[in-house]
Structure 1
Amino acid sequence: MTPVRPGPTCAVTVVGIGADGWEGLPDVSRRTLREAEVLIGGPRQLDLMPPECAGERIVWPSPLRPAVPRLLVAHAGRRIAVLASGDPMFYGIGRAIAEEVDALRVLPHPSSVSYAAARLGWPLEDVEVVTLVGRPTTRLAAALHDGRRLLVLGADATTPGEVAALLRDRGFGPSRMRVLEQLGGDRERTTAQTAADDWSMTHPPGDPLNIVAVECRRAPDALRLGAVPGLPDEAYEHDGQLTKKHVRAATLGALAPAPGELLWDIGGGSGSIAIEWMRSHPSCRAVTVERDAVRAERIARNAERLGVPGLRVVTGDAPTALAELPAPDAVFVGGGLTAPGLLGACWEALPPGGRLVANTVTLESEALLADAYRRHGGELVRLAVAHAVPVGGFTGWRQAMPVTQWAVQKTVNPSPGADR
């Protein structure tokens, strides 16, 4: 749809409003709302407007996002004020509006996160913010690290109980939780306890407008999950089809994930490469392709467990299953290299600058990688890991199967003689 193009007679302004309502708004925001010919917002926000705001009131329909361009076009030529909670550009409606108009005026209000940091005395630069509004609670798991402070934006009154349950399940029961409700309003309230206790049993349902502040404390017997690739193998449910810890760390290093990028993980196994790609940054995305339905279900469970429920799992054979996937920024092939046409299809799908990494332990697949290395360049390495094990009353080395890895970046102008 063509974006709305505000002119002298068509102004779109997004106005942030807090729990303190009309009384908490500065003069410029009040004046904008009085002069608006159309007021768009949620029922709670519109109810905060006094009679002097005489513009036509429109409640956002559900689902909201598809309605944004339609409503803006329907009221083009009129002064439109969109009401938002707190700062419209912080997990708010401001983003959706900005994507539809060429010019936008935003009048922010302090966000609930700013209020929470002020009440708690937490410097915002040292706090991680996780939103659960319209998102699964399990995504919080990726942010759990001992000693970290989190501010969790609640979806509704059930969020505190769900957060406490997830903390207990992931080994963070000793964490201190504080639930801050109606921040900035006259019904502001704070409740506290550790996650070790069932929140829903000790507290009645609270206000749906809440933030959960978490001071992460890992239980002594809980598995430690670091912030870099190479999680313990024990973190995964698997049937033996798992890229082991040291090789996994080297593989993610070669793939070099960057914020916002998309990975194809082909031959997903247990999903470890795609999962740790997504854990590297909240905006990283991944699709894993696994032909075995049982393993595909296992991948989904691992992704939920490790805090990246957004991992897309495709059950099917490669390269056939790749045809409908969005273009990747990087491709990892961990299985099925000998499938006819697979490596070529992955190479063709990559844009210039994209990376491809393939691992194998078989001679047949190694020959394919050696040929691809000859044609496209890159780096061909052999990764060997040995573990110390008891040998009688002494200690010796037990060698794991060596892994041959080909890693390459697709160049804009292939070298002469390279396969196109």
Structure 2
Amino acid sequence: MSKRKMRILAILMVIGLMVTCLAGCGGSEEGTAEKELSADEAKTELYGMLPDTCLSGFLDPTSLEDRSNIDKALPFKPKDPKHVVIGWTEQTQGDPWFVSVKESAEKWAKKYGYTLYFDVADFELSKQSAHIDSYISRGVDVIVIDPVDVTGIAADIERAVKAGIPCIGFGSEIFGAPVVTTINANIFSVGYSAGKYTASQFDKEEQINMGIVVGIMGNSTAETRVNGMLSGMIYERAQQRGVEYTMEQATLDATKLFNDLRKKGTFESEKWNMACLGSGEGNWTFEGGIDVAEPIIAANQDKLNLFIGENDFQGLGAAQALKNYGLTDKVLVACPGNGMKTELEKVKDGTLLCDGPHNGQAFAMETINFIKELAEGTNKWDANNLPMLTAFKAFNINRDTMDTYWDDDKENLYHKTAPLEVLTVPEVIKAIEDGTYYEEWVPSK
């Protein structure tokens, strides 16, 4: 044999040994088991993902920055503090939640003698941009924005601020914009609470095969409700199995699954015996829930045992689709919001496993009150150093907790709601560090 052939043979043998070694060590992409991260490692990786539209309300206390130096058109100086002019651009009036927001905003603006221009964008960013241009030209005192696109609206907000008009986010956390703050539920905590309760209804090793109806992908509220639920489900499943697991570890695992959901519309986790067999956008409506659920059910009716309706209108749509297929008793339907009484009745009768707080009336009322305090200078908090999100406390509404959160007041279309606590950036950091920021709210008796 020639020396050249011997060299070639030797090279081939080395390559063969390397391949064998890699295969035996699990070195291929498919065969490698993902390294189990410690609590600190998981925290570091998860915090590195922030900000993310699927983690609204989940905060890293070490990276929360002082916002005092950001121009937000403050201090707030309306032309007439007793007759504030508000421009409010809303996503839609396509379901009862958004209708209740409009009615509550109008009620409280009228009570205080304010002028309210309330416009509807019909989920079109171009319309919302035009609304803001209109408010600037009309010289309103303040603008409230429920964003169609939580990042795309930033340039419009910057334009308003340059014109001397402060902007307040509403309903979905806005990213990368000089808003005073965004008033909303703590979406992550609400979803997390719903997820823990949902997972508790399954055996610790039972395979959970779910379908998911999400309002609109890219919306911070919609994405975070679902990701929060997945995080809570993983945390609860770890507790059931006696595995020491932190919220950060569970949330990191869930966020990786959610990123698969973004890319493929499905995900699978052998580690946690969980899979999403199909998903779709329901635009927060009952009809949208039916439209998304039906093809998922048709393709997977022998496997499904859970549907997540990102809001309860979509959840009830999924429940109706399950009823049409005769699967009501085989598949649970869990929701992390909105908590209107008409939907809470469906928790009482077992149609929905659980629901979450998202009181549109209270959100709108507290937003108008927030503006009133700024206008009159009665605020006890530093408006120039509020976090991007000012959140209501979370909790879960299920058959066991229904009596705790049910409100007999006929004017309130929703559950009971905690008063809005406005915290500055340093106060939020302290609340996270002392463990009170994510605490669930229980009304005093």
Q: TM-score, normalised by structure 1?
A: 0.29
Q: Which has the higher strand share?
A: 1
Q: Which has the higher helix share?
A: 2
The structure showing larger relative contact order (alpha-carbon pairs under 8 Å, at least 6 residues apart) is: 2
Q: TM-score, normalised by structure 2?
A: 0.27
